[in-house]
Amino acid sequence: MMNFKDFAHRLPDFTNRKVIDAHMERLDTSGVSRRDFLSFASAGAAASLGAAYLGLPATAIASQTGKFAYLTGFMFNEWNTVFDRTAKRAAETLGLAYTSLDSKLDGEKQYNQFEQQVSGGASGVIFNLADGSAIRGISRVASQNRIYVANVWDSLPWFTPFDADEYYTLFAVSEEVTAHREVTEVLLNEVTEKFGGGNVIGVTGSKGSLLELQRNRGRDEAFLKYPKTRLVDELPGLWNREDALKATEDLLTRNPDVVGIVTQDDDIALGAIAALRAAGLRPGEDVLVVGTSGTGLGAKAVRDGQILATKGNSPAFAAALFTTRLYDVSNGWVPRAPERMLNWNTLTLTKDNIGGWIDRYVDNGDVEPFDYRKMSKVLHPDDWDPQAEVYPLDIDNNFGGIPKPEGWTYPAEYDEAQKNGEREAVAQEYAAHYKIRYDGPSPNKKA
């Protein structure tokens, strides 16, 4: 049975005027004063407290402990370690307690870690899922325990936050089909110009994951534009250098005449480069390589000519986006339907523009790359800034190529936002608020 102290921790902070206004707007309390609303809220809290004492169901009230966690299955690669480090820094800036746990590709272990966070009184959890199919069960547990969850990268196909409830507050990913098509086109254009075309191999992520499927779609679209190039083979690199090295070695043995390698992560690209060197081949000369992510080592490999191009997909940005979302919803802000599924755009990085990226995101010392507080709609209700090109996610593009479950229909909230113009209004609003440029200097850098 919930005791009085535990219940009190779950109450919204009605000493905060923004929290009061957010709840009044959400409940459509037009014509009701803040004083009357607080009277209603106090009565509701008392009723729920009595219900808790009697062992009866209480009204859903989100946890207000200020504790949140990042649960990932992939802490072995640089994108995740930078996400972790940035989320911790953003949490400190926002006054949140933070922890992170790595399940090392083990979906069952990750689910157990989530249950531990639930028992420990977490207010919110960010997931980079080892197994995307787990999101249905995770969102159900989150709802039962009034904990906000947000998810990046993998997911159960065609399952959205609208198939859960408000506690699954955000599914967001970079737009990967266009992004991977663009970076693959850089490779194929150079292969065509330098070698007159030729054979290319692919080193992908984890077989069947949503992210791998999206990047495969973009890659395959690029080959249609360059008929003198051919994708002759591929193997998964499992998002890390060691497995990517082994996969590339196998691919080179089977295909000794390749002139290009398209990889799905900078750590994978670095593993491919190691395999090329072991085979006596010069990356950037004998065989051209592209990656994606814009990690520190990946960016420096672009600068040094070992990687032809990558996609600047800052893990620091993703960490800031997700951390501020959990902060905002825990403090009374309510997202509109299009804000519960978001995309952001990335930047193609080559030798021509890699210097600025390294200055802001890699060799930045103690200068944080984003203004975390200004991302918050609670702290900056009028001048919040997404600090990147962020816009509502398109379900068809995100899950394209994957068969829909039998009887699947568009979520009602998503469909309505499409028809009534709310989706377009949100896209325009985010574009208008985008002032601190993603490809510019850090807002924290002194002039």
- Is there a domain that residue 142 lies in? yes
- Is there a domain that residue 355 lies in? no
pLDDT at 65 over 90: no
- Is there a domain that residue 81 lies in? yes
300 shares a domain with 248: yes
**pLDDT tier, 199 (very low <50, low <70, confident <90, very high otherwise):** very high
pLDDT at 30 over 90: no
- Is there a domain that residue 440 lies in? no
Beta strands in 388-441 (DSSP E): 390-392
> Nearest 5 degrees, angle CA 263-CA 155-CA 405?
115
- What's the confidence (pLDDT) of residue 58? 36
pLDDT at 374 over 90: yes
pLDDT at 243 over 90: yes
298 shares a domain with 182: yes
- What's the confidence (pLDDT) of residue 372? 99
**Residues recorded for the chain:** 447
Stretch 148-175: mean pLDDT, rounded?
98
- For the ranges 17-26, 137-146, 189-198, 306-315, which has the lowest average pLDDT? 17-26
* Tokens describing residue 352: 């021509």
- For the ranges 6-10, 131-135, 250-254, 297-301, which has the lowest average pLDDT? 6-10
- What's the confidence (pLDDT) of residue 66? 87
- Is there a domain that residue 357 lies in? no
Domain that holds residue 83: 67-173+316-344+365-433
Question: pTM of the entire structure?
Answer: 0.85
94 shares a domain with 41: no
> Nearest 5 degrees, angle CA 116-CA 118-CA 119?
65
The pLDDT > 90 percentage for the chain reads 85
Q: How many CB atoms lie within 10 A of CB 173?
A: 21
Stretch 193-201: mean pLDDT, rounded?
99
190 shares a domain with 301: yes
124 backbone dihedrals φ, ψ, rounded to 5°: -160, 155
293 shares a domain with 185: yes
111 shares a domain with 135: yes
162 shares a domain with 82: yes
pLDDT at 420 over 50: yes
- Contact at 8 Å (CB) between 163 and 267? no
166 shares a domain with 110: yes
pLDDT at 439 over 90: yes
- What's the confidence (pLDDT) of residue 64? 59
pLDDT in tens, 120-160: 999 999 999 999 999 999 999 999 999 999 999 999 999 99
215 shares a domain with 162: no
Strands 168-174 and 198-204: unpaired
Q: Report how many domains make up the chain.
A: 3
The single-letter code of the amino acid at 221 is E
Local structure of 424: helix, strand or coil? helix
- Is there a domain that residue 38 lies in? yes
- What's the confidence (pLDDT) of residue 25? 45
118 shares a domain with 218: no
**pLDDT tier, 3 (very low <50, low <70, confident <90, very high otherwise):** very low
**pLDDT tier, 45 (very low <50, low <70, confident <90, very high otherwise):** very low
Q: What is the CATH number of the domain that holds 241?
A: 3.40.50.2300
- Is there a domain that residue 350 lies in? no
274 shares a domain with 238: yes
Burial of 90 from C-beta contacts in 10 A (0-12 / 13-18 / 19+):
buried
pLDDT at 437 over 70: yes
Stretch 331-353: mean pLDDT, rounded?
98
108 shares a domain with 35: no
- Is there a domain that residue 447 lies in? no
